[in-house]
Structure 1
Amino acid sequence: MNAKSFQRLAAALIRHAPGASATEPHLRAAIHQLAATPGKLVRPQLVLAGAMHHGLRGAAAERLACAVEYFHTASLVLDDLPCMDDAALRRNRPCVHRQHGDATAILAALAFINRAYSLVGDALAAEPRSVRVKASACLDRSLGVAGLVGGQAWDLAFAETDRSARTVGMVAAAKTGALFELAILLPATLARPTRAEWRSLRALCLYWGQGFQIADDLRDVLAASYEAGKTTGRDRLLGRPNLAYALGVPAARARLRRLSAQSATALARLTAGGGRRWHYLAAAGAALSEVMATVDEAQSAAA
């Protein structure tokens, strides 16, 4: 997580964005808005570090990282639509559907999803078939009905559930956790992890995904929209899953700290013995834990 990799990825996201000379102007503007206003790029930086560490050459690693961020971007565009969260602000700018209309926003999301699959194929084209099959399975699990799509469906239907903290956690694992799975496990397929390594990697995805979702839940409850950079207060209004509401703010903060400790334990298992196979994740873990701790401290002060 450093300024150099951020700038590299920010430029690559614009360079690899979908588009052609004959692209309809509104669609072209929506795509440019999304590509040119990145968030923190947490996930693609994880992908870039992992892919390069496991032997993927620079240009291919960059494509893989952009693909994961395009999947993430598309999910945000769809999540903000009036039929979903009906948000007004994203990354301190009006949401794409507010700027260019719902139909153009949906088409832009589809364009990014299509480009993302193409980039994954290009990035892994020279890898053995076993790696490509494993990567395909990872994409299906993380993005399909067992992951992001299914999690969004449960998010929309949350008012019809028991609204328990357990259900909130299940939805978070499917939504936010799925994208962390993609960011960690997709490049990890290049290393052909052992079963024990795979279990620790999956645990790490769960802890980081849950932690980031709780941090987001706390922002939705306690931060103003301009502070969060996106529309806040929607979870209560729409009856959506939010652990800060399900448990209360103090208990949500306590769980955030516990998840940070659990992720540190999972990282320690992966890096035990002094080997350097997964050491790049330790650096990412330190940065992510710092982000979660900063959110926790800020929300404690706000409360």
Structure 2
Amino acid sequence: MRLVALPALRARLLDALDRHLPTHAHAEPSLRAALRQLASHPGKLVRAQLVLIGAEQHGWSAAAAEQLACAIEFFHVASLVLDDLPCMDNAETRRGQPCVHRRHGDATAILAALALINRAYALAGEAFLRAPRTVRRAAVTCLHRALGHAGLVGGQAWDLAFARTDRSSRTVAKIAAAKTGALFELTVLLPALAAPASGVERRWLRALCVYWGLQFQAADDLRDVLLTSVAAGKTTQRDQLMARPNLALALGVPAARHRLARLDTQIRRTLHQLNACSSRWDYLRQFHDTASALLARPVEAETVAA
């Protein structure tokens, strides 16, 4: 399979996200404005693009693939809105704009996040509506594991409690795997549920999700330490101030950069193992080759300018 150019995927996703946004003309004005703010300032859409590629590779219809991609993106955006709240990271900017709670208030930000989560579950349900019962059950299990106490929610709880831990790099990695890795688990595993994968293949897929999550979070940790808020497009220098997990703070910048490079090696070895099982997973390798700068951009070049 030859991957579609990423700009074409992005344009398609922006249209789908706008169509599926959980708002309408008669919605409460502040809530509608908050949701529109989120829609008008999308991020890199890394996860959504990978969902779209994977779903179509495994035979999903175009409509179902778009529904699932939007669902994962809405889960992701909702987690960012909640992360930025004063009771969490108390951030000021996100994606180059004032955070939703700064512009529309804490209550509206929470409601916007809930609206996105609610819509995401509905879209995921619609995407799997015509799948066999066993696949639908597997999807529910995957969503529960990735988003619940063993995944995103639990990881955020440990993030907030980090100051009371040993603050080691091992604990940092554990939290990153639970938070960032969990979203990659949804990104990779949900579209692949339609594929008759072996137990070995699914173990490699889960390992890939962990490595991608760790790589993405390590790059984000480096940007938090090394970049200004203007350069990063979001509030930086917060992790040390608030005693939050950050690999660059736990290991030092040189060691964190080395870990980032080592994770890329582990990812490529995992992708090789998957392709040895079946060529149907080659889209994951192609995506990593095409979008590795988006998945976890090394900050060496960025910090020269900073």
TM-score scaled to structure 1, two decimals?
0.96
Alignment of 1:297 onto 2:300: yes
72, 84, 96: which one aligns with 1:68: 72
Alignment of 1:104 onto 2:71: no
Aligned to 1:20: 24
CA contact (8 A) 1:222 1:302 kept: no
**Aligned-partner SS, 1:48:** helix
Counterpart amino acid of residue 159 in structure 2: D
Aligned to 1:270: 274
Structure 1 residues 294 and 169: CA distance shift in structure 2, 3 A:
closer
Gaps of 5+ in 2: none
**Aligned-partner SS, 1:286:** helix
CA contact (8 A) 1:148 1:178 kept: yes
129, 133, 137: which one aligns with 2:137: 133
Q: CA RMSD in A?
A: 1.4
Deviation, structure 1 residue 302? 6.3
Structure 1 residues 11 and 140: CA distance shift in structure 2, 3 A:
same
Aligned to 2:202: 198
- CA distance, structure 2, for counterparts of residue 201 and residue 74 of structure 1: 25
Gaps of 5+ in 1: none
- CA distance, structure 2, for counterparts of residue 210 and residue 11 of structure 1: 30
CA contact (8 A) 1:16 1:66 kept: yes
Q: Number of residue pairs matched?
A: 302
Aligned to 2:33: 29
Deviation, structure 1 residue 184? 0.6
Alignment of 1:282 onto 2:273: no
Structure 1 residues 241 and 294: CA distance shift in structure 2, 3 A:
closer
CA contact (8 A) 2:227 2:303 kept: no
- CA distance, structure 2, for counterparts of residue 70 and residue 61 of structure 1: 14
Counterpart amino acid of residue 276 in structure 1: S
- CA distance, structure 1, for counterparts of residue 285 and residue 158 of structure 2: 32
- CA distance, structure 1, for counterparts of residue 167 and residue 83 of structure 2: 20
CA contact (8 A) 2:172 2:247 kept: yes
Alignment of 1:230 onto 2:221: no
TM-score scaled to structure 2, two decimals?
0.96
Deviation, structure 1 residue 294? 4.4
Aligned to 1:170: 174
**Aligned-partner SS, 2:194:** helix
- CA distance, structure 2, for counterparts of residue 256 and residue 302 of structure 1: 20
Alignment of 1:3 onto 2:7: yes
**Aligned-partner SS, 1:271:** helix
Counterpart amino acid of residue 71 in structure 1: F
**Aligned-partner SS, 2:56:** helix
**Aligned-partner SS, 1:191:** coil
- CA distance, structure 2, for counterparts of residue 215 and residue 278 of structure 1: 25
1:24-65 Cα offsets, whole Å, 9 max, x none, are: 000000011112211000000110001111111001100000
46, 68, 80: which one aligns with 2:84: 80
- CA distance, structure 1, for counterparts of residue 295 and residue 47 of structure 2: 15
Aligned to 1:91: 95
CA contact (8 A) 2:239 2:245 kept: yes
Counterpart amino acid of residue 241 in structure 1: P
- CA distance, structure 2, for counterparts of residue 14 and residue 173 of structure 1: 30
Alignment of 1:256 onto 2:268: no
Q: What is the identity percentage for the equivalent residue pairs of Structure 1 and Structure 2?
A: 62
**Worse-matched range after superposition: 91-100 or 292-301:** 292-301
CA contact (8 A) 1:13 1:36 kept: no
- CA distance, structure 1, for counterparts of residue 255 and residue 303 of structure 2: 12
CA contact (8 A) 2:169 2:247 kept: yes
